[in-house]
Structure 1
Amino acid sequence: MTYLLGPATVALAVPIYKNRELISKYLIAACVGLLIGTFTTITSAIVIAKCFYFSKMFLLSLTIKSVTVPVATEIGKIIKANVSLIAAFVIITGMIGAMFGPKLLSMFKIHHPFARGLSIGTIAHGIGTAEAVKEGDIQGAVAGAAMGIAALLVSLILPFLLPYFI
């Protein structure tokens, strides 16, 4: 399954390319949102794991929940997390983000296509990006870019953040 997810992720590059001017227009706001969103997904997972006294293996596996499966499994190997748990947490997170993300954004009156795509792509990775594509081209392009950049940020932030909590 992960073998097929790689090409699907790369296919998101076409809408990103078509909307590159819009993405560059909001680049600074997007970078701030991505940093905050990425940091929040990691710290919320750590807080939840600590509150419920999850084992170290669960904690490590849960911290990678908002990154697409191919990237999450590779990060998991580096931090010595359980790849099976990672896959389950990633899929569950994506499904929850795809099901409730657009509804929550509408409930909080967030209607700007760029903001919707950025938030869904950052949190709900591939499954959320597929849902964002249904909303529109801009949402899909931004969600695809956010998914890729969030994966990069998690891989950079996580190794530095984890030693403070484990």
Structure 2
Amino acid sequence: MSNLPLFILFVALTIGAYLATRWLFLTYRHPLLNPVFLSTVALIAFLQATGLTLEEYRPAKDVMTYLLGPATVALALPLYHNRRVLKSHALPVLSGVVAGSLTTMAAALVAGRGLGLDERVLLSLGPKSVTVPIAVEISRLTGGEASLTAAFVVATGMIGSIMGPSLLSLCRVKSPVARGLALGTVSHGQGTAVALLENETAGAMGGVAMAIAAVFTALVAPYYLPLFLH
């Protein structure tokens, strides 16, 4: 590693920014205090203020991104603690995630067509609600643009994790199972992270929804998305 002090600085700043914004969110519970959103803004502001570049930040980002794999696997722990809840709600969980996955793809494509987006952009938009690696592969298979899909996925996760809890509360959805499923299905990892901040049961259901939605979308998207293009 060519610049170890800078690497350590960026890792420490990223972790510090997240912990600080997480504390703010847990203290005030305001949707705009979303930890991912606020910490991202704080890091961008720091880079702009100091004149440091994204390329200099990249080594730290790559290491922390690599840790997303173990972090995702760690979601199995709250799931294990809530295994009885999952077992007792197995059919509603499966049917809800399937319906949610189909609906979110359809809504995105219908809105995109209404806005006059071309076919390649629509195909890139379709798999926006599943995690980036799977969404990018779906995009490639269907003829979309991988970089656009990655941007749509990140934006979806950000918007869903900020607005999702408030919308669910507005609709009087109080069940941790239902809230976790909704956030995980629509907003993948970022939604699951916010669900986990609410309580362990919601986080566990978010992880289940994220996994089922990813598998289901990967199976049906190549056949489902073209239906909205013609």
Instruction: State the TM-score, normalized to the length of structure 1.
Output: 0.94
TM-score after normalising by structure 2: 0.69
- Whether 1:103 and 2:166 are equivalent positions in the alignment is yes
The yes-or-no answer on 1:41 pairing with 2:104 is yes
Q: Deviation per CA, 1:67-106: give whole Å up to 9, x if none.
A: 0112111222222211111111001100111101110111
User: Counterparts of 2:222 and 2:69 in 1: how far apart (Å)?
Assistant: 23
* AA in 2 matched with 1:103: S
CA distance in 1, matches of 2:81, 2:138: 30
* Mapped partners of 2:132, 2:66: distance in 1: 10
2:93 alignment counterpart? 30
Aligned length: 166
* Identity in percent: 47
Residue in 1 that maps onto 2:155: 92
Q: 2:122 aligns with which of 38, 59, 64?
A: 59
Residue 115 of structure 1 pairs with residue 173 of structure 2: no
| CA shift in 2, pair 1:86/1:152, >3 Å | same
Instruction: Give the SS at the match of 2:144.
Output: coil
Asked if 2 retains the 8 angstrom alpha-carbon contact of 1:5 and 1:70, the reply is: no
Distance in structure 1 (CA, Å) of the matches to 2:134 and 2:147: 14
User: Is the Cα contact below 8 Å between 2:184 and 2:207 reproduced in 1?
Assistant: yes
How far, CA to CA, are the matches of 1:54 and 1:105 in structure 2?
A: 29
Aligned to 2:134: 71
Q: Write the distance in 2 (CA, Å) between the matches of 1:45 and 1:154.
A: 14
Counterpart Cα distance in 1 of 2:190 and 2:133: 13
Indicate if the aligned counterparts of 1:117 and 1:139 stay in contact, CA closer than 8 A: yes
Does the aligned pair in 1 maintain the 2:138–2:222 contact within 8 Å?
A: no
**Structure 2 alignment gaps of length 5 or more:** 1-61
CA distance in 2, matches of 1:132, 1:161: 28
Q: Point out which structure has higher relative CO (alpha carbons under 8 A, 6+ apart).
A: 1
Structure 1 residue 4, shift from structure 2 partner: 4.2
**Would you say the 8 A contact 2:160–2:186 is kept in 1?**
yes
Structure 1's unaligned 5+ residue stretches are none
1:9-38, Cα deviation, whole Å (9 max, x unpaired): 222122112211100111111111111100
